[in-house]
Amino acid sequence: MFGWEFPPFQAGGLATATVGLVKGLLRNRVGVTLVVPFPAEQSPLPELRLVSADGAVEELVMHRVPSPMTPYGGAAEYQEIFSTLRRASRAPGAVYGADLFAEVARYAALAGGIAAREAHDVIDTHDWITFAAGLAARAVSGKPLIAHIHATEYDRAGAGANPEICRREHAGMQAADRVVANSHALKRTCVERYGIPAGKIDVVHWGIDPDAVAPDLPAESPFRARGAGARVPVVLFLGRVTWQKGPDYFIEMAGRVAAHVPGAKFVVAGQGDMLPRLMHRTAELGIADRVHFAGAVAGRQVQRLYRLADVCVMPSVSEPFGLVGLESLRHGTPCILPRAAGVSEVIANAFKVDFWDLDAMTNQIVALLRHPALRAELADNARREVEGPRFSLEEPARLTAAAYTRTLQGSPA
Amino acid sequence: MTAICLYAQVHQPFRLRPYGLFDIGTGAEYFDTEQNRALLRRVAEKCYLPANRLLADQIRRSQGEFRLALSLSGTLLDQLAAWAPEVLQSFQELVATGGVELLGETYHHSLASLASEAEFVAQVERHRAAIGRHFGQRPVVFRNTELIYWDNLAPLIARLGFRGVMVEGADHVLDWRSANHVYAATTAPGLRLLPRHYRLSDDIGFRFSNRAWDGWPLTAEKHADWIAASGGDSVHLYVDYETFGEHQWADTGIFAFLAQWPRECLRRGLTFAHPGTLAARAPVAPLAFTRPTSWADVERDTTAWLGNRLQEAAQQRIYGMREAVLAARDPEVLERWRRLTTSDHLYYMCTKWFADGDVHKYFSPYESPYDAFVACMNVLQDLEQSLPVPMVEAAPPALAARRMLAARRAAMV
């Protein structure tokens, strides 16, 4: 499997999903050789160790290939990382490609070598950056190739989509023996935008890694209200601060909600190119003292944020799945989900909203902040829903393993 | 006979820690004591100690013919007293030569003149007391933070007992007039204005080591010739004290220049005069400053500190808290808040990156102005919620912002 894992402080759904899938596959008794790009300049992560329910260590082989590629790295971001590394002249362990596409090609060449050494039955890949590696591996071993798609370039960049990336996404899905999409919405995109036959695409919704959540963490807010028993309501945005996630709609909403709920605070957690613009906008709206920017958060801090927030909002312009929604609900925090997201296909107990519908969003949030009963009812019901077996790690892995089997048997779904 | 009035500003701020969302409410320290102490020690070794020695030596050797003015901010005095008492003593020895006149300023090197008359008065008086305590002098000439001055401020400065003010000899103010005279404030006729000759000042302060400059290398002879040629009654040269050894490192030859410069000036028949002496002279004419003018950047206005909405929001929040801070009647809380009024915190939020923006970057401990904004707003949140008395419920934010803008515009008229 050509996937992703978390480099320090660079959380993202794609890494969560692939690591979760690996864990789930191992529990389903599917051995995995995981190949991930990992920047040699960073301190190494602890070795991924996985133990099955009955205590037996499953078969996992890890290959960390030195590479500065990131799961969401556009060509420009790669260029920035690359030149930073060059300036630092810390002699990277490998000679990286001068641009993202060169690096993807270099990575693919290394992938071919790994495929020749490691025994395997199926090759699984995760999003376009790894598609080339998967194709190279298939050329070596002749084993069937699965293209797991988590988000397309249209989802990430909309009208600003990079045509070369779109071309590679198309080529990867076209060449793959089978495609796995994480929602019906994303499957539609693959069919309509990329012309992939619907019959070739399986839909497997994501689950949630119980190790990654701490639903019983005490809800310790940094904000203190005046008066006994009073508390500061907190509205949370968590995600990359980029066009795709709609953080600008979050700020607009904050301006409206702030007028209705005077004490409310708004937290934006995440990094991204839109941060400067958002900060200016908070000042313009006169809510600079109401919005706090938490920057990059990881691990325990993410869990704390979910716990201390009264409501989590996902104003995503495009959201193929929306793992934040599951995580938030699992921590007992009601979440406003993007109507068109994959997570909305599988969760009933949540408000669903369109990113452009600020009136509806404001209305829902004000209601949640004003009525503890509504908040509690929604939170409890949603948490029960998310705790169901459907959202375990094993279930999506079982469905994925089934897709592997079907591919091996050469029969369509 | 033309007199030279040399004045150097000595200031260090209490820089903030990268204070994050999760620091709020934890009692975490606001200020980066370790970094502040290290920077102070470094500047003391590279600049304060050698420059003090050199200047004291020059004053003695010229038998008092060479003289100058210094202004030491209260935050600097606090840092010296806490972390470098021997450096404070070195300043005291320098002042004891009789060749140094000390100027008045706001204790916390703040922008209180633009925000709160009461706070401005309090900080100026506190500074005057500190100068009396440490050096046995009573300043008679005032320098506002970054030389910010405009007509509306003059009556207040006069009322505080000063007879002169250091001002920027900005082109838009002087127009066809020469900076080399003593002028009168239009709104307080007893108050004298001493406009900075920015070109001759910046030859030392900014351009000294610039090899692309056609005046390079700047020798004491050359600079003394230029001063003599510029004519007038008095040439007012104002620089940062850190010019000597810190902004211009010792290996640029700045100390050799400084050691030769007084003699070269005296040899050309130029004399040295203290600002207090010049402020006793009759003015040649009134000089109007219709809007706040500073010595910063090419604009010579206040946009380095209040030029974008983030800075305005932060400044508004700082001063909006004043009543509640005073009501706490806790000297430690008051001091912590006053350290936040130091102009440097707003300077770090400056987004004028281009042209002279690189100067800002050099002086900022933050990666970006946005990081500076986030840390400052988090600290203000912590301070605000730690106050025993709630802040007076402000006018709706948008209205408050409009009022502040209106007030600033009125101040400029």
Establish if A292 touches chain B: CB-CB under 8 angstroms.
yes
Q: Are residues B332 and B395 in the same domain?
A: yes
pLDDT at B342 over 80: yes
Q: Are residues B367 and B398 in the same domain?
A: yes
Structurally, at CATH architecture level, domain A13-207+392-409 sits in 3-Layer(aba) Sandwich (3.40)
Contacts of B385 in chain A (CB under 8 A): 223-226
Domain ranges of chain A: 13-207+392-409, 211-389
B190 in any annotated domain: yes
Number of Cβ atoms within 10 Å of the Cβ of A376 = 12
CB-neighbour burial class of residue B400 (10 A; exposed 0-12, middle 13-18, buried 19+)? middle
Establish if B308 touches chain A: CB-CB under 8 angstroms.
yes
Contacts of A295 in chain B (CB under 8 A): 20-21, 374
| Backbone angles phi and psi of B311, in degrees to 5 | -65, -40
Average model confidence (pLDDT) for chain B?
92
**Tens digits of residue pLDDT in B363-387:** 788 888 888 999 999 999 999 999 9
Q: Are residues B269 and B126 in the same domain?
A: yes
Q: Are residues B138 and B255 in the same domain?
A: yes
Q: Are residues B261 and B314 in the same domain?
A: no
pLDDT at B360 over 80: no
Residue where a domain terminates, one of B226, B256, B287 = B287
B401 in any annotated domain: yes
B52 in any annotated domain: yes
Handedness of CA B373, B379, B383, B384 (dihedral sign): positive
B301 in any annotated domain: no
Q: How far apart are CA A251 and CA B69, in angstroms?
A: 49
Q: Are residues B277 and B324 in the same domain?
A: no
CA angle B223, B224, B227 (to 5 degrees): 90
Structurally, at CATH architecture level, domain A211-389 sits in 3-Layer(aba) Sandwich (3.40)
**Tens digits of residue pLDDT in A74-83:** 777 777 777 7
What does DSSP assign to residue A50?
-
Q: Are residues B346 and B281 in the same domain?
A: no
Q: How confident is the model at residue B396 (pLDDT cuts 50, 70, 90)?
A: very low
Contacts of A276 in chain B (CB under 8 A): 351, 368, 370
What does DSSP assign to residue A387?
T
| Alpha carbon separation from B294 to B50, B144, B181, B188, B285 (Å, rounded) | 29, 9, 19, 19, 21
Q: Are A153 and A169 in contact (CB under 8 A)?
A: yes
Q: Is B390 left (phi over 0), alpha (psi -120 to 50) or beta?
A: beta
Contacts of A226 in chain B (CB under 8 A): 385, 390
Contacts of B390 in chain A (CB under 8 A): 226
B185 in any annotated domain: yes
Q: How far apart are CA B327 and CA B132, in angstroms?
A: 28
**Tens digits of residue pLDDT in A191-247:** 999 999 999 999 999 999 888 899 999 989 999 888 777 889 999 999 999 999 999
Min CA distance, B22 vs chain A (Å)?
Answer: 6
Residues 381-400, chain A: which have Cβ within 8 Å of B?
none
Establish if B392 touches chain A: CB-CB under 8 angstroms.
no
**Tens digits of residue pLDDT in A150-173:** 999 999 888 889 999 999 999 999
Helix A13-27, helix A394-409: angle, nearest 10: 70
- The number of folded domains in chain B is 2
Q: Do B313 and A282 count as a contact with CB atoms less than 8 A apart?
A: yes
Going by their DSSP bridges, the two strands B183-185 and B192-196 should be labelled as antiparallel
Q: What is the pLDDT of residue A52?
A: 46
Active site residues of B: 146
Domain hosting B313: range is 308-412
Q: Scanning every residue of chain A, which has its alpha carbon at the shortest distance from the alpha carbon of B318?
A: A289
**What's the CATH number where B121 sits?**
3.20.110.20
Q: Do B401 and A295 count as a contact with CB atoms less than 8 A apart?
A: no
B278 in any annotated domain: yes
Establish if B280 touches chain A: CB-CB under 8 angstroms.
no
Predicted model pTM: 0.83
B165 in any annotated domain: yes
Q: Are A306 and A333 in contact (CB under 8 A)?
A: yes
Q: What percentage of chain A exceeds 90 in pLDDT?
A: 64
Q: What percentage of chain B exceeds 90 in pLDDT?
A: 87
Q: Are residues B126 and B268 in the same domain?
A: yes
What does DSSP assign to residue B399?
H
Mean local confidence (pLDDT), A123-137 = 94
Mean local confidence (pLDDT), B107-125 = 98
pLDDT at B298 over 70: yes
**Tens digits of residue pLDDT in A199-208:** 999 999 999 9
State whether residue A180 is helix, strand or coil.
strand
Q: Are residues B247 and B160 in the same domain?
A: yes
Alpha helix (H) residue ranges in B231-289: 254-267, 275-278
| Alpha carbon separation from B362 to B46, B97, B246, B305, B347 (Å, rounded) | 17, 34, 12, 15, 11
Establish if A258 touches chain B: CB-CB under 8 angstroms.
yes
β-sheet bridge partners, residue A35: A2, A63
In the block, tokens 């376009």 appear at A128
Q: What is the pLDDT of residue B397?
A: 47
Beta strands in B11-110 (DSSP E): 68-72, 100-102
Min CA distance, B396 vs chain A (Å)?
Answer: 8
**Tens digits of residue pLDDT in B240-263:** 999 999 999 999 999 999 999 999
Q: How confident is the model at residue A88 (pLDDT cuts 50, 70, 90)?
A: low
**Tens digits of residue pLDDT in B134-171:** 999 999 999 999 999 999 999 999 999 999 999 999 99
B377 in any annotated domain: yes
In the block, tokens 């900060």 appear at A279
